[in-house]
Structure 1
Amino acid sequence: MDLSDIHSALSSKSYSNVADICDELMLKIASNGVDYEQEWPYAIHLLGHIFVDDLNSARFLWKTIPAFVKEAKPEVVAVWKIGQCLWTTDYSGVYASLLGFEWSPELSIFISAFSEKYTDRMFKLLASSYSTISITDMTHFTGMSKESATQFALQNGWTLDQASQMLTVKQQTTVSKQKVDPSYLQRLTEYVFHLEH
């Protein structure tokens, strides 16, 4: 079984493409009648779907994985635990799942990339949802230690009130410029003129 496309995506850190590559390759192999279940990289495939936040596909894949694979490959179960925590919005559980397993060398870099992406996403979500947040709540949402969460927040421009242990979120300024198409204005003017006359 040729899994070189999957390994190539991993080595080039094209993690967003892993799920699609795995899906296509799995269909191709299955359509040729090849028994792939023993050798298939289910952990990578599951993490590929989780990485692009496609939890429905991850759940479907999980349900199709044979029981003997789940029993023989604890890393597959460990990846699915991350998916379960995401599904139930157990934020600290995601980090506990990431840190609570000794990942294989093949998967550890992919796991690190997911962890960085997830942390970034959580901080953006918190920044858009809160103006101030306690360090305790921050650790709950990020799964980080108090020191790590505080350090990360300060590095991203947030401020800390030592007395209250509250972080003030640095609000992102978004400037949206709209360009109006001159032809649209011309058509609108003609339409209004037509209605008035």
Structure 2
Amino acid sequence: MELPPLSTEQLSQLVVSNAPPSQLFEALSRYELQACLISTGVNSPNEGGGNFTLLSLFYSSFFLVHLLTDQVSEARALTKRIPEALLQQDPSLQNCLTLLRAVWQTQHGQVYQVLRGLPWPDALEPLVRRYESFFQDKTLIAVSRSYEAIRLATAAIHLGLDEQLAEQEDPNIISNFTKCGWTWDSESKLLHPKPIVVSPPEPRPSNGIRKAMTMLGTRAC
């Protein structure tokens, strides 16, 4: 299949699409070689100009899609392949490194702080918000299976909810958990999780690459 040149327009189309994360990953994977070749001529923002911006968007997007597909170790490996000058000078990639440390160390509060509090370019916002939702869902499932009882404030921290409101036993905070089947004991001030069962992911279709290329506006050979 012919791969169109890597460009901010191609990346922007992928980022805003509602394509499954696995298809986004496949599409971006095919661009890594092009990104590597472009990066050989970029040493700084001033020298690289538009290519520096393009590479920032590519590597930041690819990193976030690694996390969206729950490939944390692979995301860590990706940071070793990003050109050092780009990694050290680009604010978005610095955010990615900070996010990686928080995810790797399972610092839930820090993960939400990075996703919500650090400045992300508008072009990356769709992926940042998708990962925030993914991380919340994944954490909720994990907590539901790990605890028989948990303080409301602790559960709120795991989900990125307002800890102060949780301390005040805010009904809206409580409902975030009871609507999942959890029970709230007002006497003990504890939540009793109900394990959340999710359907196994559908197997990746054999034509996943073909679908990914369709999103990029290419035609299968």
TM interval, shorter chain, is 0.7 to 0.9
> Which residue of the partner structure matches residue 65 of structure 1?
82
Q: How does 1:84-123 map to 2 (within 5 A)?
A: 84-123=101-140
Post-superposition CA distance 1:58-90 (Å, at most 9, x none): 112212323332343211111221111111122
CA 116–137 in structure 1, closer or farther in 2 if over 3 Å, else same: same
Q: Which moved more, 1:117-126 or 1:71-80?
A: 71-80
> Which residue of the partner structure matches residue 10 of structure 1?
15
Matched, 1:22 2:28: yes
CA 149–47 in structure 1, closer or farther in 2 if over 3 Å, else same: farther
CA 105–171 in structure 1, closer or farther in 2 if over 3 Å, else same: same
CA 33–111 in structure 1, closer or farther in 2 if over 3 Å, else same: closer
CA 78–149 in structure 1, closer or farther in 2 if over 3 Å, else same: farther
Amino acid at match of 1:12: S
Q: Measure, in 2, the Cα distance between the counterparts of 1:82 and 1:149.
A: 25
Post-superposition CA distance 1:118-171 (Å, at most 9, x none): 111111111112222111321342332225653321232322222322112234
> Which residue of the partner structure matches residue 170 of structure 1?
194
Root-mean-square deviation (CA, aligned residues, Å) is 2.7
SS in 2 for 1:144: coil
Structure 2 unaligned regions, length at least 5:
43-50, 199-221
Contact 1:9/1:15 (8 A) holds in 2: no
CA 154–94 in structure 1, closer or farther in 2 if over 3 Å, else same: same
Amino acid at match of 1:69: L
SS in 1 for 2:181: coil
Aligned residues, how many? 174
Residue number among 49, 64, 69 corresponding to 1:52 in the alignment: 69
Q: Measure, in 1, the Cα distance between the counterparts of 2:35 and 2:94.
A: 23
Greater RCO structure (CA 8 Å; 6+ sep): 2
Contact 1:6/1:21 (8 A) holds in 2: no
TM-score (norm 2): 0.67
Contact 2:141/2:195 (8 A) holds in 1: no
Q: Measure, in 2, the Cα distance between the counterparts of 1:173 and 1:20.
A: 28
Structure 1 unaligned regions, length at least 5:
175-197
Q: How does 1:126-141 map to 2 (within 5 A)?
A: 126-141=143-158
